[in-house]
Structure 1
Amino acid sequence: MTTGAGNRPFDVSVDMATLARLTGREREVLRCLARGEMNRVLARRLGIAERTVRAHVTSIVRKLGVGSRFEASLVAFHHYEALTDEAIAS
């Protein structure tokens, strides 16, 4: 799979230590991204402002070291079960 810009392949591999750097709320937002939810829907589901969702997404992208929301959602899709609080704690 490649991107249009620069034709670099998506590298969505992350380790548990990287996932553990996310806060509980960031993991919750990331799991919603894996389901393809838009910010507005995500904000309503979590009871937070859409601006707060955008801030969480920005932080998630930075902490995971990916280039976009889309790449973060691929990480979430591939590591969905590992994003639970119980999986991070063990």
Structure 2
Amino acid sequence: MHGDIQVGGGVERPIRGGGGRLASVERSALRVLTPRELEVFSVLPDGEGNRELARRLGIAERTVKAHLTSITRKLGLRSRVEAALLAAEWSDDLRAADPKGLDRP
């Protein structure tokens, strides 16, 4: 095994990132994301591209890119793929944190 992500309650969940490396991120890290970053983060597992995400969220495509850059930096992730896998793993927490319910169509 390459490593694990530390999630709430001491439960460990593996997540593969770029280059086979794994990130170690605590769920409490969600608190560092802005509400709009949480919205972008929550829709990543759906597999849409930046253009589709921008339309869905009503923001510019370059704003989506900026949010993704900020999300990966704040969470210490290496790629959008790691972010999407982590968002999928944490989907229940993201739904609870997302009052608009944008995490699912």
For residues 1-90 of structure 1, what are the structure 2 equivalents within 5 Å? 5=19, 8-11=20-23, 13-83=24-94, 84-85=96-97
Cα distance change on mapping 1:17 and 1:51 into 2, 3 Å: same
Number of matched pairs: 84
Which is bigger in relative contact order (C-alpha 8 A, separation at least 6)?
1
Stretches of structure 1 that go unaligned for 5 or more consecutive residues are none
CA–CA distance in structure 1, aligned partners of residues 84 and 93 of structure 2: 14
Moved over 3 A (4+): 1-5
Q: TM-score, normalised by structure 2?
A: 0.70
Q: TM-score, normalised by structure 1?
A: 0.80
RMSD over aligned Cα, in angstroms?
Answer: 2.2
Identity across the alignment (%): 52
SS of residue in 2 equivalent to 1:28: helix
